[in-house]
Amino acid sequence: MTSSSDLGFGIIGSGMIADYHARAIADATGAKLIGVAGRNAATAQALAEKHGAAFHTTDVAALIARDDVQVVCITTPSGAHLEPALAAIAAGKHVVVEKPLEITVERVDAMLHAAQRSGVVVAPIFQARFGAGAQRIKAAIDAGHFGRLVLASAYVKWFRQPSYYQGWKGTLALDGGGATINQAIHGIDLLQWFAGLPVEVAGQKTRRVHTGIEGEDTAVAALRYANGALGTIETSTAAFPGWSRRIEICGEHGSACLEDDTITRWDFREAQPEDEAIRRAAADTAMGSGASDPKAISHQGHLRQIQDLVHHLRDGTPLGVNGPEARNAVAIIRALYASAETGRPVAPA
């Protein structure tokens, strides 16, 4: 049910991920999809009609100009996020941007600076932060339960069919790379949310199976954090059949392992009253997993983020993840790529 007080949303881009945004908007309280803009008139129309939006167009400016659109979702290819985002920001619209915000730190910064000048919100899609397991680990870190962190690592060993790369995926111009910037970025965002931005990244990358793409299908990195902790990143889209994303946080007083959003290890030197409940908690599988199939995720993660943004804009509640935080994942990935090219450790900028 919608009302006159609902925030009006527009979507720019009508590819696969746009449907997840549209479903999330439909299910969010206080949100309404007004229209869709896409380069392909037929797909824009189909998406709009599927989700009950009366307006569809190939003219991005026409969607942005509508007075009943307050928020614009950017679902174009990754390297084409900046231009429509800048247009929306210039018109005073808040923007929801599919991950990554952009494919270089410079383009991310251009977006964030424009939003700051205009006083609008940039809400990046990092739905993994909204899982119950991820939030439990973050709370335990913030409460000091792990003590001094020792190791903090992310493993994203996924699988994609060759057909996945027949379009813009894996291109340098529109994907910015391969498995690291497209698939592993969710794990990398979680890792830096938990452990902080590493001060040094030593990376390597290669194409082991998907040799027809420009970006990497496999990469690794060694990390060093400001507090002295170390860590690793391992990522691939060539590892059959595709395993759950795994984040490991190890400290002097305890360690935990998160697989997708299920806590599979929760081991601490001194027991806390909530420990057993955490170990026995039912897995939060509502968001699904993209380990083997990008279409296997659900729209629940996007729904949690869209709802979070609505609450923020209506009630002033803190945003679950903001643009400057989302910049960190891109900075880490660009450092990994730069290190792989130069053969030297690189500090994320």
The pTM of the full predicted model, rounded to 2 decimals, is 0.96
Q: Look at residue 272 in the predicted model and tell me its pLDDT.
A: 87
pLDDT at 72: 98
% of the chain residues with pLDDT over 90: 93
What is the model's pLDDT at position 3? 52
Q: What is the mean pLDDT of residues 61-84?
A: 98
The pLDDT assigned to 2 comes to: 46
Q: What whole-number distance in Å separates Cα of residue 291 and Cα of residue 321?
A: 23
Two tokens at 173?
């111009």
Q: Does pLDDT of 58 surpass 50?
A: yes
Please check the confidence at residue 308 and state whether its pLDDT lies above 50: yes
For the range 165-172, what are the long-range contacts, defined as Cβ-Cβ under 8 Å and sequence gap of 24 or more? Answer: 165/210, 165/212, 165/213, 168/77, 168/79, 169/213, 170/210, 170/213, 170/214, 170/215, 170/217, 171/79, 171/213, 171/214, 171/215, 172/214, 172/215
Domains and CATH numbers, the chain: 7-124 (3.40.50.720), 128-293+323-342 (3.30.360.10)
Pair 29, 310: CB distance under 8 Å? yes
285: pLDDT confidence band, cut at 50, 70 and 90?
confident
| In the predicted structure, residue 67 carries a pLDDT above the cut 50 | yes
273 pLDDT exceeds 90? no
Mean pLDDT of 289-316: 95
* Amino acid, res. 225: Y
Q: 212-226, 276-290, 297-311: lowest mean pLDDT where?
A: 276-290
